[in-house]
Amino acid sequence: MRRPRELSLRARLLLVAAAGLTMGLAAGGILLVVVLGYAQTRSVHSESMDTAQGVARLIEQEALPNPIPVTPGVQVQVIDSQDRVTAVSTTADRLVPILYAEELRDLPDGRSVVIPGNRIGFDGQARVVKVTAGPPTDPLRILVARSTNEITQSVHLLRITLLILFPLLVALLAAGLWRALGAALRPVDALRAGAEEITGGTREGRLPVPDSRDEIFRLAVTLNGMLHRLDAARARQRAFVADAAHELRSPLTNMRTELEVAQRLPDDTDWPGLADDLLADVQRLSRLVDDLLLLARQDENARQDENARQDENTRPDGNGRDGNGRPAGRRFEQIDLGQLVGETAQRYPDVTYRDPDAPMPLLAEPDALARVVANLLDNAVRHRRSQVVASVAEDGPHLLITVTDDGPGIPEADRERVFQRFTRLDDARARDAGGSGLGLAIVHELVRKHGGTVTLGDAQPGLKAVVRLPR
């Protein structure tokens, strides 16, 4: 079964607006008819009361003429206590009261009642007002009847007029809304067309930004920012893949060359030496692959942290991190930082470790911090001239890990860049014996995961790496 075609956003908005407009106009029209009818009814009642009260004053003054002069369309009767008509207007019946006996008895003084107009010669209906006058011992009841046919006709005419004008008004307003919605949604259509061009490769990764500073403008700016970040991420990914391929190719090329030479000259090959060389290349490849996997996991963890920050229900303090700035939800445990750094430094014979005088408790991931210390020591040992010194110290609410070497150092302009992946420098520290260019990048990611910072400074001579971790 073929699925029916869905309406466009412009059509749906028009339908919603037209429906709301129709209901609003209908409610307004009904209210107008009701209010007009009520106002005219009150006006008839008020005019009838004025006439009745005027007749009552004439009775009090004993100056009531007969017939009673009234305006056309009005009937007046004066009825005594025996329900006899004693005075009338020129158009009223002189013998039969306007109201029946029970109606006359039940109608309160100063109130009105609606009766069929044909009873007294009116078209439609008539409203009758009753007012009592004269002495209490011999009261006279004044009845004033006025036709409501004009009210009925005017309300009916208004109703017919509204029924004719409202559809025309809704149609005109719908046409105006259609054009207004088209103008309002034109920037959205431009964004869609721009997105299609970007997808098709015929346009650079930027969407057109409208001149108006409205929601569409902010949407376009946000989408362009997203596209910029995606382009930057793709560029970083391409560079990372290219650098990784280059790093993997070098040991593979060495291994292939050595094996081809050994295959061509089997009698002249030093097989134990070849095995040692191949094992060194395999170890370098293994370290490189491990580093790449670790960075990939850190990237995935960073994305999970970003998603956690978007979920208010999973934030311990409202920002996706604990009170010390570490990502929430990680498996941290209490460790002695001084002991951890000392155990790691023991694996390096050329490293001098300055043990702190007191324990240095810290909530952290032991394996991750051990990797941080090991990478810093590896980097320092490769570039030292004579010595490497590692230490742990307190600095207020932070703990510091310091690794110092007396090597050639790093220029100040490059000290931020070396934390990028596969960074190569032109100075002596770039001539690395087996380094992959990922060690400091891994240090930066692991320290950031703990809510800390890592900086490089001068050791005079040499380089000093300082890791600052919150407790």
Concatenating the DSSP letter of every residue in 262-275 gives HHH-TTT--HHHHH
What pLDDT does residue 468 have? 93
Omega prior to 208 cis, within 30 of 0:
no
CA distance 321 to 455: 22
Give the residue among 256, 262, 254, 261 at the shortest CA–CA distance from 284: 254
Give the residue among 168, 159, 218 at the shortest CA–CA distance from 191: 218
What pLDDT does residue 427 have? 46
- 191 with 219: CB under 8 angstroms? yes
* Dihedral, CA of residue 155, residue 156, residue 159 and residue 163, to nearest 10: -170
Report DSSP state, residue 413: G
For residue 376, the one-letter residue type is L
What pLDDT does residue 142 have? 93
CA distance 67 to 69: 6
Instruction: Domain ranges for the chain, please list them.
Output: 11-153, 215-314, 333-470
- Is there a shared CATH topology between the 215-314 domain and the 333-470 domain? no
**Degrees to nearest 5, angle at CA 190 with 183 and 12:** 50
What pLDDT does residue 315 have? 45
CA distance 416 to 385: 23
Residues 6+ apart with CB under 8 A from 320: 305, 308, 309, 311, 314, 327, 328
Give the residue among 344, 343, 339 at the shortest CA–CA distance from 356: 339
68 φ, ψ (degrees, to nearest 5): -85, 125
pTM exceeds 0.85, yes or no? no
CA distance 104 to 99: 6
Class of domain 11-153: alpha beta
3-state secondary structure of 343: helix
Residues of the chain under the 50 pLDDT cut: 1, 312-320, 329, 426-433
What pLDDT does residue 35 have? 92
Give the residue among 463, 454, 345 at the shortest CA–CA distance from 411: 463
What pLDDT does residue 442 have? 83
Which residue is associated with the tokens 């050639």? 408
3-state secondary structure of 136: coil
What pLDDT does residue 319 have? 45
- 408 with 429: CB under 8 angstroms? yes
Q: How is domain 333-470 classified at the CATH fold level? A: Heat Shock Protein 90 (3.30.565)
3-state secondary structure of 351: strand
CATH architecture of 215-314: Orthogonal Bundle (1.10)
Give the residue among 97, 91, 132, 135 at the shortest CA–CA distance from 111: 132
